[in-house]
Amino acid sequence: MIKHFKPAIILFILLSLLTGVIYPAIVTGLAQLLFPNQANGSLIKDGSGKPTGSGLVGQPFSNPGHFWGRPSATGPFPYNAGASSGSNLGPTNPALIDAVKSRIAALKAADPDNKAPVPVDLVTASASGLDPHISPAAAEYQINRIAKARHIDTAKLRELVQTHTEARQLGFLGEPRVNVLALNVALDAIH
């Protein structure tokens, strides 16, 4: 009977070492060597080198002097990575319609002089509820509010948005986008 267990135990130990130690060590080493930023969480650092957050997870900004990201459906706490999900509200759901109307009202109250149409990504949550990006149009919509709050020239803000606009991946996948955290870190660095 023991002669049947001995090969099974040896195989168990060998496979445990292979799949639980050797393989993860090789993958981790290659990731650190080839993609060190991504392997360490895609952290965005401020001017002093202190990490301020990940470029992969949105953060709530409510200060009028900052760019605001997409709303999060991860409530009750905004951008709760432990509760990543969309709202699952359909386009005709009264709760979604009321939420969008209140978000539009909040944006207009924060910048009453802005008569431009509100970009949809500023009033609707993404599927994950954690989207760190907004469209260039959403960033443009907020420039006047931020310029007034920080007393910065709008042309300088437009240039900052343009330098932080990421192109489509491989030239055809997705849409141009702006990482809100990276943009706000750069904004804080110039002011």
Q: What is the pLDDT of residues 151-178, one digit of tens each?
A: 999 999 999 999 999 999 998 999 999 9
pLDDT for the residue 179: 96
Tokens of 79: 């951008």
pLDDT for the residue 76: 64
Q: What is the mean pLDDT of residues 175-191?
A: 92
Q: How far apart are CA 32 and CA 63, in angstroms?
A: 36
- Beta strands per DSSP E along 32-72: 43-45, 51-54
The pLDDT of residue 87 is above 80:
no
DSSP state of 168: P
Q: What is the mean pLDDT of residues 101-117?
A: 94
The pLDDT of residue 191 is above 70:
no
Q: What is the mean pLDDT of residues 67-87?
A: 78
Residue position matching structure tokens 């990276």: 182
DSSP state of 19: I
pLDDT for the residue 180: 95
What are the respective helix, strand and coil percentages of the chain, to the nearest 5? 50, 10, 40
pLDDT for the residue 79: 72
pLDDT for the residue 128: 80
Tokens of 147: 């310029």
pLDDT for the residue 148: 95
Query: Phi and psi (nearest 5°) for 13?
Result: -65, -45
Q: What is the mean pLDDT of residues 116-125?
A: 93
Please write the tens of the pLDDT for every residue from 11-27: 999 999 999 999 999 99
CA 48 to chain centre: 21
Q: For residue 26, how many other CB atoms are within 10 A of its CB? A: 10
- Beta strands per DSSP E along the chain: 43-45, 51-54, 133-134, 165-166, 177-179
**Mean of the per-residue pLDDT values for the chain?**
90
CA 187 to chain centre: 17
CB 155 within 8 A of CB 162: no
Query: Phi and psi (nearest 5°) for 141?
Result: -60, -30
Please write the tens of the pLDDT for every residue from 19-72: 999 999 999 999 999 999 999 988 888 888 899 888 888 888 989 999 999 988
Q: How far apart are CA 97 and CA 87, in angstroms?
A: 12
